Amino acid sequence: MRVFVTGGAGFIGSHVAEALLDRGDAVVAMDDFNDYYPVAFKRENAALLARRPTFRLVEGDISCRDTVRNALAAAKPDAVIHLAARAGVRASVRDPFLYQRVNVEGTLNLLDAMREFGIRKLAFGSTSSIYGFNAKVPFSEDDPVSSIVSPYAATKLAGEALCRAYHHLYGFDVAALRFFSVYGPRGRPDMAIYQFTDRISRGQAIPFFGDGSSERDYTHVDDIVTGVVAATTRRFGFEVINLGESQVTRLSDLVALLERALGKKAVLDRQPEQPGDVPRTFADISKARRLLGYDPRTSVEKGIPQFVEWFLRERAPSLAKA
């Protein structure tokens, strides 16, 4: 299979590309190498993938219609995995227009190029942020999503709506995959687990929002990848599917796990709740189990020490030299 992966040099994208290559697929990855976090990290990811003979990298921005069209025309993929996006709830509050351009217009650019070239198979990377202040737990794909509280979540819901429209109009086969708080090796440095690990290891204070009672369904990237890759081999019509661990961890408990793994106490910089943050995320993954054979294996109790080990080996030495 030939697979086109947008955001292929990023955190989740590079892991997905790696898994596809291991499966024997040919992969064309597109990434714009923006500076939302250090570009060097994405370059490292791309260099790892470039060692594989069936991998090709295209540098380009999905918000440029001609760039997307030309890349798809050259790649001639059997399937597309769309992971390129501006991520981060708080950053979207600061610059919602950037998020609209990349996440909404970029998705439309991709969908319409797929339409033009007869490519109908798509896995779309969405987010649990869409559930907003959902009072019912765990979160089900059938729950109403009327309480969105960030521009990031709004742009991702718009992306899902566009995917649904192209399914209806042109017969696209789409799995819209709502990711829940993904972490793991090669993780983004703006994410809580990475940021806390970095700061605790240095003896610096960590930003601790609220009273520590907020809860997240932290999901290891290896589990997310199994769901994304499975979505390329099954037919759906159009389906929204949660990919999470289906267990919740309080912020205070997450800090305790990191303290144990690092052998250091955290210094807390207590701050109020942030605009756009939600009190909890918790995935109902029964649909993913049924449609994808999804079976998450890495609990936070296992995944946090693994992440810390990777961080201390791969990131801490370079940060010490900076």
Integer Cα distance of 239 and 141 in angstroms:
9
Q: Nearest Cα to 287, choosing from 161, 138, 140, 128?
A: 140
CB environment 266-290: b (16+ within 10 A), e (fewer): beeeeeeeeebebebbbbbbebbee
The Cβ of residue 253 has, within 10 Å, a number of other Cβ atoms equal to 14
Q: Check residue 317 and give its pLDDT.
A: 67
216: part of which helix (H) or strand (E)?
strand 215-216
Specify whether the CB–CB gap between 87 and 36 falls below 8 A. yes
Tell me the sheet residues that pair with 287. Answer: none
Q: Check residue 276 and give its pLDDT.
A: 66
Q: Check residue 319 and give its pLDDT.
A: 54
Classify burial at 257, counting beta carbons within 10 Å of its beta carbon; exposed 0-12, middle 13-18, buried 19 or more.
Answer: buried
Integer Cα distance of 156 and 216 in angstroms:
19
pLDDT tens per residue, range 132-186:
988 888 999 999 998 899 999 999 999 999 999 999 999 999 999 999 999 999 9
Q: Check residue 287 and give its pLDDT.
A: 98
pLDDT tens per residue, range 180-207:
999 999 999 999 999 999 999 999 999 8
> What parts of the chain have a pLDDT lower than 50?
320, 322
- Structure tokens that stand for 285 in this block: 């993954």
Q: Check residue 50 and give its pLDDT.
A: 97
Beta-carbon contacts of 274 under 8 Å, excluding residues fewer than 6 positions away, are: 89, 90, 209
CATH 3.30.56.10 applies to domain 2-183+219-246+282-298: no
Angle (nearest 5°) at CA 171 between 227 and 142 = 50
Q: Check residue 213 and give its pLDDT.
A: 86
Percent of residues, the chain, with pLDDT higher than 90: 88
Q: Mind telling me the catalytic residues?
A: 152
